[in-house]
Amino acid sequence: MSGFLRAFSITGVIVVTAGAAQAQPRPGWTPVVDGLVMYQGAADLSGGGEVSATRSFLRAGALYRAENGASAGVLVSYGQVDYDFSGGVAARPWGDIRDIRVSAPLRFPVGERASLFLSPQVRWNYEAGASASDGRTWGVFAGLAWQVNDRLRIGPAFGAFSELGDSDTQVFPALLVDWQIDDRWSLSTGTGLGATQGPGLSLSYALSDEIKLSLGVRSESVRFRLDGTGPAPGGMGEETSIPVVLSLEYAPNPGTRLTVFAGAELDGQLVLENAAGAEISRQSYGAAPVAGFAFRIRF
């Protein structure tokens, strides 16, 4: 399951797969910066105690767009999840988690109405105090999308990623959809809020040319290497959840997007594995309130 829910598997491509109804970026180099800060409120753990978290993410890079519509770029990001466990030391499976990644999104026109997307990525997910190299994984996300008409872009995609604690490569299917239903309603996959991780679906309504209201549902999962202390020295941790959020986006110009959002994380799971990959604990948590702010700036 964790392969299908590969965190950030699509975000490396979304900057170069703008919506079908949006104006295309100008040819040449375009610097891009985006980020996210999200607070997850306290939720009861099935094993006792509570968990809350603060998530932050910052990504920067540059994208080059050619006259024929092809584009390529490099994006580098740093993220962190600061966990807060209550209920004593025994209830704390891990500490703060670091997330570093490098991606090289590519886009090529195929004929007059199709585009091929390719995004090789390298990631380091590890607990503070562990070696970054022990949390390294890599993979690629690729897809082919057809411009069916001025309002609809759709096509198949897949991801192939290595997995911490597993020698097999995880391969999963996906679907790229960008549908401008009418002048106000739209439906899309893969974009999410800023740098929100995981595949998802977002239904949006344009209140005006600058303001948009969206309801998003996503599946999220992230695995990370643990340090040499705690209940599973050198082991792995994993968190999965299904966030449902309502967001309000303000785009004063084509290069700037500011978003505030609130909602809940549902079906949360915290899994702890030892260094050999054997599961030693699994805790669920109830619905956790979430709220945050995201931004994207294209210069």
Helix (H, G, I), strand (E, B) or coil at 14: helix
DSSP letters, 75-101, are EEEEEEEEEEEES-GGG-----EEEEE
Q: How do strand 256-273 and strand 236-253 relate by DSSP bridges? A: antiparallel
Supply 166's token pair.
């597993």
Which tens digits make up the pLDDT trace of 74-109? 999 999 999 999 875 556 899 999 999 999 999 999
List for the chain the helix, strand, coil content (%; round to 5).
5, 65, 30
Phi, psi (rounded to 5 degrees) for 88:
100, 165
Q: With a threshold of 0.85, does the pTM exceed it?
A: yes
- CATH superfamily entry for domain 28-298: Outer membrane protein transport protein (OMPP1/FadL/TodX) (2.40.160.60)
Contact 109, 72 (CB under 8 A): no
Taking only the tens place, the pLDDT of each residue in 228-286 is 988 999 999 999 999 999 999 999 999 999 999 999 999 999 999 999 889 999 999 98
Q: What does residue 91 show for φ and ψ, rounded to 5 degrees?
A: -90, 0
- Lowest mean pLDDT: which of 68-72, 137-141, 166-170? 166-170
The candidate with the shortest Cα–Cα distance to 158, out of 2, 31, 45, 6, is 6
Q: Sketch the domain layout of the chain as residue ranges.
A: 28-298
Tokens 């997910």, located at residue: 125
